[in-house]
Copies of this chain bind each other. A is one copy, B any other.
């Protein structure tokens, strides 16, 4: 049979997969390092089933946060269209930060994915998204021409690490610092 992009999965398999993702998202949000066996048990499946759907721990983590990451990537064009570049960058940072410390696993998963296969699909997409923002800013003269997408992404990655009670206000403030780091400086530079 020819494999279509569609679900050629058996119904029970599909249900299991969905249930695993649901449970994993729940457990990982609270404990962060929930063991695989606990996820399988809570989902009511054997460990083998878990590994059939997600061949490795990192694969599961990435799948759990895939939606968030994709949303982040897809949001970029609209942001660029609706706002001046630096404002778009700031809004994107805040959206990223808004996932909050609870979902800090996203970036860990991404980092892991980036490290294992250096040409990770998502890594490339994230770089492209950031490049779109920066290029718009360079065209309008708001963003310094020497800022690269990779390094700004690295800076933006810090937002996930903000902890504590007022993480929301503090990460917003840090987003401002990052935006200013990419801003083209006036001629009166030191």
Interface residues of A (CB under 8 A from B): 86, 142, 146-148, 150-152, 154-155, 157-158, 161-162, 170, 173-174, 177-178, 180-183, 185-186, 188, 190
A151 to B157, CA, bound (A): 12
The one of B86, B142, B151, B173 that contacts A177, using a Cβ cutoff of 8 Å? B151
The one of B86, B151, B170 that contacts A174, using a Cβ cutoff of 8 Å? B151
What is the count of identical protomers in the complex?
2
Q: Using A154-B158, A154-B162 as known contacts, say yes or no to A185 and B180 having CB atoms under 8 A apart.
A: yes
Q: Using A151-B174, A181-B180 as known contacts, say yes or no to A190 and B86 having CB atoms under 8 A apart.
A: yes
14 contacts between A and B (CB under 8 A): A142-B190, A147-B177, A148-B173, A151-B173, A154-B161, A154-B174, A155-B177, A158-B158, A177-B181, A177-B182, A178-B181, A180-B180, A186-B186, A188-B188
Interface of A is mostly: helix
Nearest Cβ in chain B — how far from A13, in angstroms? 34
Are A155 and B180 in contact, with the CB atoms below 8 A?
no
Q: Which B residue's beta carbon lies closest to that of A154?
A: B158
A181 to B162, CA, bound (A): 17
Are B157 and A155 in contact, with the CB atoms below 8 A?
no
Are A146 and B161 in contact, with the CB atoms below 8 A?
no
Nearest Cβ in chain B — how far from A104, in angstroms? 11
